[in-house]
């Protein structure tokens, strides 16, 4: 049990149902803090006030997780409106306790910048309480998201008492946490969550946020399986080495993807409508841009993994298709500096790393085989796997469990295979839960307040979900008029809160817009 709560307002039993008596139980107490310091990697010591273990709902079901911590730096940024970084540490759709800032991620950096930091806990697919001798799963979808929304509401409800601007909340998370961040950004004030939030005793106020930072978001769960197979099908008989049964599932899933891509009605920046025919070229553009930027930053890229390169003076003049002007070489190569195309083998890997080289094209299938060789792919279905070819539930099957913890399918495809019934469909309640856990259902619909600013990253060798997921998210947001900074960082695996200089300079640009 947490003893840092304002105890007068609570009747608590450890880890079980608790309720707050007074209607003002959600008011922040500015006097209840401890002083803490954080030593940054460069030795700098940051001092701040720590407000920890604050319940953000009045009907606390799971006291281990439904709290938040707030950190207010002694040296607040000297800007008219100080942002609040709301960092969730959700991973694997599991429960996450409210944590303290870390010198090595965005929380420490935000404090260094003089920003307020909020780190909420939230229930997840493994959180349980004991109720009358019975184990209750408290964090099944959408409860983790509801907790984070309640945390946002808490900040806004107490805007007059908490330093920082609740109108400038930046949510940040990685992977399943990136998915949560995208949901916070996409579903603000949607009526779909209203009665559930009310039932929890969340503050009666808005829950939209200003900006969302999403590292490798594992989202669009009910389409992620078909997208994965459509993209990575080219590896099935090679590096992925699937069985016949797995190939059959992969092919069936992949066959469903073109209709989904076409249904999205997405449009490229230049106005070209996207469809299943031109979508792979669209993906390639992002990867080419990633490789190109990596070259300019001095990285080495082997020419065995699908990219082709242009060298000034020896290759065709002018940018190749898909190469923007700002991706042209910074310094032209000198005349006569030709590069041969020798045979490759271990220890004989010509690499391109001159700022004057740039990438002209990509054999996407070759690159995808490289990604699959670096990190073994998930087997099909990648997400809704339970009962299709294996019985083991995935984190997502557990996320959509019932309150007794029985994992569940969340796509018709997998349900039908598990039940051996081609006409089985998810029941209405499950369809609704899946719907409200997918940010794609809200962007551009007018049924929610969507964050104005988005920072989305997915590593170039991250295979936890397919490239389609972050690309669709970013493109749909762009098409809806949001300000989106999307990039696929070169050579990045599944990870988050990297390149903090880039992230925080982006944050600053959003504050000056
Ligand atoms: C996470 C990673 C996954 O591959 C996945 O399916 C769900 C969650 C994660 O790291 O949070």
* pLDDT tens-digit profile, the chain (513 residues): 333 333 333 434 434 444 554 658 999 999 999 999 999 999 999 999 999 999 999 999 999 999 999 999 999 999 999 999 999 999 999 999 999 999 999 999 999 999 999 999 999 999 999 999 999 999 999 999 999 999 999 999 999 999 999 999 999 999 999 999 999 999 999 999 999 999 999 999 999 999 999 999 999 999 999 999 999 999 999 999 999 999 999 999 999 999 999 999 999 999 999 999 999 999 999 999 999 999 888 898 998 999 998 765 444 433 443 433 333 333 322 222 222 222 223 333 344 554 556 888 999 999 999 999 999 999 999 999 999 999 999 999 999 999 999 999 999 999 999 999 999 999 999 999 999 999 999 999 999 999 999 999 999 999 999 999 999 999 999 999 999 999 999 999 999 999 999 999 999 999 986
Q: Which of 173, 218, 396 to mutate to test the pocket of ligand 1 (most atoms within 8 A of CB)?
A: 218
Residue nearest to atom 4 of ligand 1 (CA): 464
Half-sphere exposure in the Cβ direction for 487 (13 Å, CA): 19
The pTM is what?
Answer: 0.90
Residue nearest to atom 2 of ligand 1 (CA): 92
Question: Closest Cα to residue 77, out of 513, 504, 469?
Answer: 504
Cis peptide before 213 (omega within 30 of 0): no
Residue nearest to atom 7 of ligand 1 (CA): 92
End-to-end CA distance of the chain: 44
Give residue 218 CA to ligand 1 midpoint distance, Å. Answer: 6
What's residue 303's pLDDT?
84
Give residue 171 CA to ligand 1 midpoint distance, Å. Answer: 18
Q: Which of 464, 493, 497 to mutate to test the pocket of ligand 1 (most atoms within 8 A of CB)?
A: 464
* Lookup: tokens for 93: 């759709």
264 in Cβ contact with 476 (< 8 Å): yes
Give residue 177 CA to ligand 1 midpoint distance, Å. Answer: 9
Closest atom, ligand 1, to C-alpha of 174: 11
**CATH 3.40.50.1820 describes domain 18-216+495-511:** yes
* Lookup: tokens for 441: 């259902």
The Cα-based distances of 288 to 29, 305, 333, 458 in angstroms read 51, 12, 20, 14
The Cα-based distances of 34 to 1, 328, 337, 411, 468 in angstroms read 18, 53, 63, 47, 45
Give residue 196 CA to ligand 1 midpoint distance, Å. Answer: 25
Give residue 330 CA to ligand 1 midpoint distance, Å. Answer: 38
What gap in Å lies between CA 511 and CA 513, rounded to an integer? Answer: 6
Q: Which of 214, 382, 383, 395 to mutate to test the pocket of ligand 1 (most atoms within 8 A of CB)?
A: 395
Residue nearest to atom 1 of ligand 1 (CA): 92
Give residue 155 CA to ligand 1 midpoint distance, Å. Answer: 28
Give residue 199 CA to ligand 1 midpoint distance, Å. Answer: 29
* Lookup: tokens for 206: 């808005």
306 in Cβ contact with 328 (< 8 Å): no
Give residue 8 CA to ligand 1 midpoint distance, Å. Answer: 39
Give residue 393 CA to ligand 1 midpoint distance, Å. Answer: 13
Question: Closest Cα to residue 138, out of 152, 150, 151, 128?
Answer: 128
Question: Closest Cα to residue 53, out of 21, 9, 114?
Answer: 9
Closest atom, ligand 1, to C-alpha of 178: 11
What gap in Å lies between CA 308 and CA 294, rounded to an integer? Answer: 14
Residue nearest to atom 8 of ligand 1 (CA): 92
Measuring from each residue's beta carbon to the nearest atom of ligand 1, which residues come in under 6 Å? 91-93, 175-176, 218, 383, 395, 464
Closest atom, ligand 1, to C-alpha of 176: 11
Give residue 383 CA to ligand 1 midpoint distance, Å. Answer: 9
Give residue 368 CA to ligand 1 midpoint distance, Å. Answer: 20
What's residue 358's pLDDT?
80
Give residue 93 CA to ligand 1 midpoint distance, Å. Answer: 7
What's residue 341's pLDDT?
27
Q: Which of 89, 92, 178 to mutate to test the pocket of ligand 1 (most atoms within 8 A of CB)?
A: 92
Q: Which of 175, 469, 495 to mutate to test the pocket of ligand 1 (most atoms within 8 A of CB)?
A: 175
């Amino acid at each position: 049990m947490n003893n840092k709560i304002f105890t007068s307002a609570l009747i608590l039993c450890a880890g079980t149902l608790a309720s707050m008596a007074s209607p003002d139980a959600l008011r922040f107490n500015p006097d209840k803090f401890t002083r803490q310091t954080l030593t940054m990697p460069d030795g700098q010591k940051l001092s701040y006030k720590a407000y920890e273990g604050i319940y953000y709902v009045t009907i606390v079901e799971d006291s281990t997780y439904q709290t938040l911590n707030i950190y207010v730096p002694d040296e607040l940024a000297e800007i008219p409106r100080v942002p609040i970084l709301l960092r969730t540490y959700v991973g694997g759709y599991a429960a996450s306790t409210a944590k303290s800032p870390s010198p090595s991620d965005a929380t420490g950096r935000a404090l260094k910048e003089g920003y307020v930091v909020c780190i909420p806990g939230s229930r997840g697919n493994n959180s349980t309480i004991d109720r009358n001798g019975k184990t209750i799963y408290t964090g099944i979808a959408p409860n983790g998201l509801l907790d984070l929304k309640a945390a946002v509401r808490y900040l806004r409800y107490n805007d007059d008492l908490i330093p920082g601007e609740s109108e400038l909340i930046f949510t940040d998370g990685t992977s399943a946490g990136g998915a949560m961040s995208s949901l916070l950004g996409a579903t603000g004030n949607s009526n779909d969550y209203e009665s559930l939030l009310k039932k929890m005793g969340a503050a009666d106020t808005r829950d939209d946020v200003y900006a969302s930072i999403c590292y490798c978001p594992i989202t669009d769960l009910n389409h992620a399986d078909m997208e994965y197979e459509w993209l990575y099908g080219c590896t099935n008989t090679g590096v992925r080495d699937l069985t016949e049964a797995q190939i059959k599932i992969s092919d069936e899933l992949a066959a469903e993807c073109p209709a989904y891509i076409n249904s999205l009605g997405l449009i490229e920046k230049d106005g070209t409508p996207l469809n299943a025919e031109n979508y792979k070229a669209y993906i390639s553009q992002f990867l080419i841009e990633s490789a190109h930027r990596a070259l300019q930053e001095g990285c080495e890229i082997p020419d065995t993994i699908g990219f082709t390169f242009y060298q000034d003076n020896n290759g065709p003049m002018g940018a190749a298709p898909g190469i923007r002007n700002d991706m042209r070489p910074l310094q032209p190569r000198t005349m006569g500096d030709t590069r041969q195309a020798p045979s490759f083998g271990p220890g004989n890997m010509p690499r391109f790393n001159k700022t004057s080289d740039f990438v002209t094209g990509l054999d996407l299938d070759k690159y995808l085989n490289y990604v699959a060789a670096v990190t073994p792919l998930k087997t099909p279905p990648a997400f809704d796997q339970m009962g299709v070819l294996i019985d083991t539930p995935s984190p997502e099957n557990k996320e959509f469990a019932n309150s007794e913890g029985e994992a569940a399918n969340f796509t018709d495809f997998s349900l039908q295979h598990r039940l051996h019934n081609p006409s089985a469909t998810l029941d209405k309640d499950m369809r609704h839960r899946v719907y409200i856990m997918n940010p794609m259902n809200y962007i551009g619909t007018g049924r929610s307040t969507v964050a104005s600013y988005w920072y989305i990253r997915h590593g170039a060798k991250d295979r936890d979900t397919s490239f389609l997921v972050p690309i669709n998210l970013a493109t749909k947001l762009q098409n809806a008029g949001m300000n989106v900074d999307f990039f696929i960082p070169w050579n990045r695996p599944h990870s988050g809160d990297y390149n903090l200089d880039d992230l925080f300079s982006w944050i600053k640009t959003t504050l000056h817009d």
